[in-house]
């Protein structure tokens, strides 16, 4: 098995889901309790949030680069950021390390394309919704991506992530709000939902929505499993 490096902590709740998904999938592959060679570097979520608020993305890139270099030195043969928003500085980090970094958007776009879906809606942090560092790589695969346009909606979805989900809190009123936004997109023609924040799957599941859900946590983790097992991505 190939050695995979995970850069997590943003948040640790979703990082656990990566760890769980990868280990369980490898267990299932071998039909026993075989565990993969994972290396995990946990970032300080509080510091990352503060730097985001101050728009100090270069400093965030430095922290991710430090993590990536540490995992590279430890023998990781491929790296992953265990969240969507850190991919804003993907290019800055990728140029500083020789180890490939598996982009969450590439894995997600590949999965959407394999299902023959051409129009999706996307929700995540305000950074990933208002900017295209995640969605552009999906759009490049000839998939239309709908994102919220209202500042009020952007800010409320972001608040739910930052103030509730990153603490592991599931608030029913917030869940109802998120579902109302998703159903508006479905009514506008979206054929699937992309949960573009690795915390949203803690709240929203396939049983909540009538169209397919693309869980970026599961998709990205499975791409990591494919690498570990030498299946390709």
Percent of the chain with pLDDT over 70: 99
Once rounded to an integer, what is the mean pLDDT over residues 93-106? 95
Highest-confidence segment of 82-86, 95-99, 193-197:
95-99
Look at residue 198 in the predicted model and tell me its pLDDT: 77
When pLDDT is averaged across residues 215-232 and rounded to a whole number, the result is: 91
Quote the mean pLDDT of the chain: 93
In this model, does residue 168 exceed pLDDT 80? Answer: yes
Q: Which domains does the chain have, with CATH numbers?
A: 4-103+219-229 (3.40.50.1860), 105-215 (3.40.50.1860)
Closest CA to 63 of 77, 78, 75, 50: 50
> In this predicted model, what pLDDT tens digit does every residue of 51-81 receive, in sequence order?
988 999 999 999 999 999 999 999 999 999 9
Torsion of CA 128, 131, 133, 136, to 10 degrees: 110
The stretch 118-127 carries a mean pLDDT of 93
Structure tokens at 148: 């919220």
Which range has highest mean pLDDT (65-69, 83-87, 161-165, 216-220)? 65-69
Q: Which two tokens mark 133? A: 């560092």
pTM tops 0.95, yes or no = no
Q: What is the pLDDT of residues 197-208, one digit of tens each?
A: 878 888 999 999
Question: Does position 11 have pLDDT exceeding 90, yes or no?
Answer: no
Using 50, 70 and 90 to split pLDDT, how confident is the model at 129?
very high
The whole-angstrom separation of Cα 17 and Cα 28 is 16
The sign of the dihedral angle between the CA atoms of 110, 138, 85, 11 is negative
Q: What is the dihedral of CA 201, 166, 107, 222, to 10 degrees?
A: -70
pLDDT given for residue 232 in this prediction? 60
**Does the structure show a pLDDT above 60 at 189?**
yes
**Measured distance CA(83)–CA(227) in Å, rounded:** 18
């Amino acid at each position: 098995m190939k050695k995979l490096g995970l850069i997590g902590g943003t948040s640790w709740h979703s990082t656990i889901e990566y760890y769980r998904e990868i280990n369980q999938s490898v267990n299932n592959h071998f039909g026993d309790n075989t565990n993969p060679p994972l290396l995990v570097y946990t970032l300080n979520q509080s510091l990352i949030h503060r730097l985001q608020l101050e728009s100090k993305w270069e400093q965030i890139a430095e922290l991710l680069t430090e993590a990536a270099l540490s995992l590279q030195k430890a023998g990781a043969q491929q790296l992953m950021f265990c969240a969507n928003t850190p991919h804003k500085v993907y290019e800055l980090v990728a140029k500083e390390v020789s180890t490939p970094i598996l982009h969450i958007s590439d894995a997600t776009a590949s999965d959407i394309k394999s299902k023959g879906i051409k129009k999706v809606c996307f929700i995540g942090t305000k950074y990933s919704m208002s900017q295209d560092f995640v969605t552009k790589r999906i759009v490049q695969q000839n998939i239309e991506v709908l994102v919220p346009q209202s500042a009020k909606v952007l800010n409320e979805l972001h608040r739910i992530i930052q103030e509730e989900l990153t603490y592991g809190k599931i608030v029913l009123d917030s869940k109802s709000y998120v579902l109302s936004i998703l159903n508006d997109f479905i009514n506008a023609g979206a054929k699937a939902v992309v949960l573009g924040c690795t915390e949203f799957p803690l709240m929203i599941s396939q049983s909540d929505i009538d169209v397919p859900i693309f869980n970026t946590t599961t998709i990205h983790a499975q791409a990591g499993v494919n690498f570990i097992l030498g299946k390709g991505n």
